[in-house]
Amino acid sequence: MLVPLILTFIYSFQDRALVLKGWVGFQNYINLFKDPYFHRALKNTFTFVIILVPVVVIVTFLVALQVSPLRQQYRVFFRAAFYLPVVTSGVVNSMVWLWLLNTDYGLLNFIVTSLGMEPVMWLASSNTLYYLIFVVFTFNFGTPFIIYVAAMGNIPTVLLEVARIDGAKKRTITWKIVFPLLKPVTFFLFVTQTIFVFMVFVVIQLLTDGGPARTTETIIYMLYKTAFRFLEFGRASAMGVILLFIILSISILQKVLVGKDDTTY
């Protein structure tokens, strides 16, 4: 792990295609910050993170809240159903979505045209980024859901019983007792989901290849293209270093804002 990390730092100061051409200091970084495509990739990446991470965490919390009190066999069913996309290969999931979103014979457009509307070019429109966010949401749902259900099962029932006896309503119990007790879990999910979303790759590669017109290109995808399609390893390494610092900064920020674990039962 350490060797590639160090090499990436070193490469980021080099003009390196397939072989070393020379040392360029901070030029790779300067070029990146001047590059409008990099700006767009940054914007797309943050759009993914800002929309997807809170939505995944909140929706999985709310769904877990409904599933958690159910009888064992129902909980097993929902856990299996929601976790299935997680254990399935990302490539397989993406191929399924590729079929679902196909303009000519996809299921979604079959429904759309059955309702008398014009078919939608899901993967070739100015809104494609948002459709992709939804697709990634379906991939990401399983793990936080399982964790929340497990964590809710660990909350001592006596706490909830006492609250009910004291006359607390369901909403109050949810937001004043359950949610605060799950703060460490929520922090963990925020961090892991943020990292996961920053690293979203397969979906973009298989569904859009960063298109249309590079509007769905994220930093990690641009990094891949720069390194392995255009063979600009120095420039790609600089992107990797920037991405590392972004993720590190956000993780520290999240820790400061949310993360102090003072939960006691």
Calculate Rg over the CA atoms of the chain.
22
Please count the other Cβ atoms lying within 10 Å of the Cβ belonging to residue 79: 17
Q: Which is nearer to other proteins, 50 or 231 (CB)?
A: 231
Nearest to 261 by CA among 181, 195, 176, 161: 181
Shortest reach from residue 54's CB to other proteins, in Å: 28
CB 23 within 8 A of CB 13: yes
Q: Which is nearer to other proteins, 76 or 91 (CB)?
A: 91
CB 34 within 8 A of CB 116: no
Q: Which is nearer to other proteins, 98 or 247 (CB)?
A: 98
Shortest reach from residue 109's CB to other proteins, in Å: 9
Chain residues that interact with other proteins, rule: CB under 8 A: 17-19, 102-105, 119, 121, 123-126, 208-209, 211-215, 225, 228-231, 233
CB 128 within 8 A of CB 48: no
* Maximal C-alpha separation, the chain: 74
Shortest reach from residue 147's CB to other proteins, in Å: 33
Q: Which is nearer to other proteins, 20 or 70 (CB)?
A: 20
Q: Which is nearer to other proteins, 30 or 62 (CB)?
A: 30
Shortest reach from residue 205's CB to other proteins, in Å: 11
What single-letter DSSP state applies at residue 241?
A: H
Q: Which is nearer to other proteins, 19 or 158 (CB)?
A: 19
Q: What angle do CA 188, 189, 194 make, to 5 degrees?
A: 105
From the DSSP assignment, how many helices (H) and strands (E) are in the chain?
15, 2
CB 48 within 8 A of CB 56: no
Contacts of range 168-171, beta carbons closer than 8 Å, 24 or more positions apart: none
Shortest reach from residue 259's CB to other proteins, in Å: 38
Shortest reach from residue 227's CB to other proteins, in Å: 8
Q: Which is nearer to other proteins, 193 or 218 (CB)?
A: 218
Dihedral over Cα of 63, 64, 70, 76: its sign: positive
Shortest reach from residue 24's CB to other proteins, in Å: 14
Q: What angle do CA 139, 143, 148 make, to 5 degrees?
A: 135
